[in-house]
Structure 1
Amino acid sequence: MDETVLPVAQDGQYQITANDVGIYLSVWAPAKGGWTVTRAAIIEELTNRKCTNFDSNFISVVIREAMGTPVLIANTGPKIDGRYEISANDVGVYLSVWAPGNDGWPVSKAAIIQDLTDRKCTNFDSDFISVTIREAIGAPVLIVSSQLSVLPPENLVRVKVGCKRLEARVSVNIPVDKPLITYSQLLADLKAAGVCYGIDEDALSMLTQTHTATNIICARGTPPCKGDNAFLKYYIDPDSQGRPVELEDGRVDFKETNNFLCVEEGQLLVEKIPATPGTPGTDVFGLPLPPKPGNDIQMPVGQNVINVDDWRLYAAINGHLYIFLDKRINVIPIIVIDGDVDYSTGNIDFKGSIIVRGSVQPDFFVKAGGNVEVCGTISGGMVEANNIIVRKGIQGMKRSVIKARERLVANFIESATVFADEDVIVNDVILTSSVYAGLRVIVEGGRGLIRGGRVSAGELIRASTIGNQSGVVTEIAVSVNSLLKDELISLRQQIKKAEVTYNELQLAMSHFRNQGSKHLSSEKRERYTKQELEYKTLPDRVETMKQRITNIERILNTAKPGRVRVSGYIYPGTIVCICSLTKSLNDSLQFVSFYVVGGEITFSSLR
């Protein structure tokens, strides 16, 4: 007798590792109803390892996320203090400042000022030194110009250049018994001070009309423009998560809530738009002012993503997008619903596997490209997946349709329609349901009862009891794979039709391209866009149909001659169908096996 082995619960796990940077914590989620990792156990182990500089709240977050990858929770690397360097050339005195690392101390402004004073340099701007320390770009910054103040003979005109070399100010102090300064003299004074760029002619003209003026801006440099920062362009909008779908008529479908951002293998997720270098400026001496480039940004590489040249992130697997606390992009192959599938989650259509801790409520559906496990019941909902496990059972309410592309395992099935390409395995009862299995239907373990409805299998139906003493009509059929055969015929017809459609679309694409998209009307352009999308996706749909045909042919070719085996009683009112033959029971039978011999349905004892 075949037995159904249900998965064993697995508790969550954690691992603590360390390197030169710090201490890392990896946490794995529990499976099949196992216990989660406790924060107390992790904190106790960290304390035993003499590690105390951790954030217990952040540890709780890492446990909850349970990504299975190392997360830095404590920094142990050496502190690196900030440093500075003072240099000089013909232009002036420069200050280079490097930022501290790993919580090290920043550069002291007092130390720099003391160093400058010791070097007999006093005409600096204290506030500008503060700015240089704060920005800490690690490159020389001019803080004192050797041409800051140039006094021509007789002290009639003074030219002063600002510390950033972006302004030249002129002061004149001409005795009233002396003639006014001329325009050409002012230009010569500026040239003598090295000022040759951004001359303000109007300001110079004004100075030619006065004996006294102070700090008049007569030249302006062009400041450099900092480059634009790098940023991430998301091809999946994270803000659309949890937003209900709006229908064409303006109504909102609260069953379609987009709680999970599903992605496919190879799909582009994120692209980094690089920082720009900025635009250089020019100081009043005509010298270039280098721009500060825009800030770079790290690619948010997480689990199951492919980082191409630190430029683009692609999904490595089918799954759903999950953005971790530190903004890393992850693709998770399994969706776990902690409660029911209802209005709080909406319908779920996912290419990976799904675990539902609660139940699937009426009129909601769960569709998976992988497997589905429901820890509660399917109560009037719909489920489609490869393998389906329903821990408590299926309460169909005459509207549930369950489709398993491989095997279905449930505690009971009542008032539901169930399809499985391979086996349907039930622990307790099948009541008034339509059940179709490509290979076997096995109802054993509890009552092992099939009563009412129709149960069909490709090669074997096995139960403890079929029907009841009241004579409820119960139809049992084996070696009748009409559903799979009908689907096989339909798929072959669809492939032929798709091949014709593909050729037509190919001609249409060629015609549109020859015309040129610029010359198309808006209506034709919209039609072209739709046809182009169908042209690109049709080959994948055909390939999926071909794979389905291969699977159906395998099931039909490997099926054994049909049998019905009853280890208890089979009651009157039961109709047994094997191939095209039918036998109605008028008497109760016990411990029997039904099969075909000589063109008739016969039975023999199992004893």
Structure 2
Amino acid sequence: MGSSRYSIDHYLKLKVSDDKLTAWMTLEEWDDSFAFTLDDITHFLRANGVIFGLQQKNLAALAASPQSFRNMLMTVAAGSPPRDGKDGSVRLLFDLESSARQPKILEDGTVDFREMTRIHNVNQGDRIAERILAEEGAPGMNVKGEPITCKRGKEARLKIGKNVMANPEQTVLVASISGVISLTDGDKINVFPIYEVNGDVDYNIGNIDFVGSVVIRGNVRSGFRVKASGDIRVTGGVEAAELIADGSIEISGGILGQNKGMVKAGKTIKSSFVQEGRVEAGEDVVVSQSIMHSIIRAGRAVVCTSAKGLIVGGTIQAGERVEARTVGNSLSTVTVIEVGVLPERRNELLSLRSQVKESTEALRKTEQALALLDPLAASGQLSMEKMALRIKLGHTKRKTVEEINAMKERLLELETLQEQSNAAVVEVASIIYGGAKIVMGRYTRFVKDPVSRVKFRIVDGDIGMFTGN
């Protein structure tokens, strides 16, 4: 050690961050007798508990030329933060959104949907999805040499629908019949048989209710009903008819609903236009030309953005966002756009909260009863009747715990969705006319004059309007 007038801690002051991931040193006092070697400084740090991630280069510079670091904060140790594991995921081995199924947009802005009715056939035994495992993550270490735990990624689950089988390890999903892949509500993966109609659904065909996917190479006439547990594809148009699918619905010729029909899908609905229609989708409603005087509800988004993308009249409701090229018209036709959490989600949230409360109370009573019976069982003092009761209570407890966990998981999902309502957005690429009404959560904004290229979103407890690109 050099012949300094004071001990090292008179000159050097050490500061460690709250998360203990960084240590800094500052040279506060200085006189010409300061002389400490790299070893002295390292020893000082160790004596103060800083032992990991020492920045040798900085320490050497400090020992060699202390005066150039006066009153400067120098990083002397850096811990390694933990790396959380990546969540697992499920990968479809068939690209359901492949480019072959994107409609071709023609020069005049109309859409050629003929390419869209390619069906995704699979054969029995084909692998259709695989589960990618979550990653462990890597623990970190702070400058004091204490390990910092990391979070393991959350495992994904294969959501098994109809006519598919998983291997024992639950890592691969295989088709158990030949048919068409269909994703239904809750991202369940199914393979359904196909029912094809070469022509219109009219009096010659009658209503269709099929446990599978339906392809109609024609129109669906007024008053008829097509129901499918998979997807529905229509190459023609849909009149005032009822189409209900657990999966997705694609309509090449558009919907002329006359305010009577209903088109409802668990997943996504795609159509070239909707006029006086009622349309409900669990996820997205994608319309290539126009939505006129219709009632549209989408769990996620309503998108109408092509060269003709026009929304006029009616009510559009979406969980997260609405995108259009033009909204309303120069006649100031009332057009309502509501974005944010859908009412049924809000209701589900409230009823789930009270169910969790009730179930937790029931669980408490079950546990109390078991607490009285368990000691008696241990000392063999239970009658057959009481034994049976104890077994029954044990079963009830397990079931209630499972139910509570499932409800809490769903609550978390719903609460996340509710938080997202603050990220709700309405985006108009060309022009929005007076007569439009924007509703987001609890807030409402009326558009009085036409505005070009505009976005609406919630800012500081109100609906803000942002113009420009």
Q: TM (normalized to structure 2)?
A: 0.48
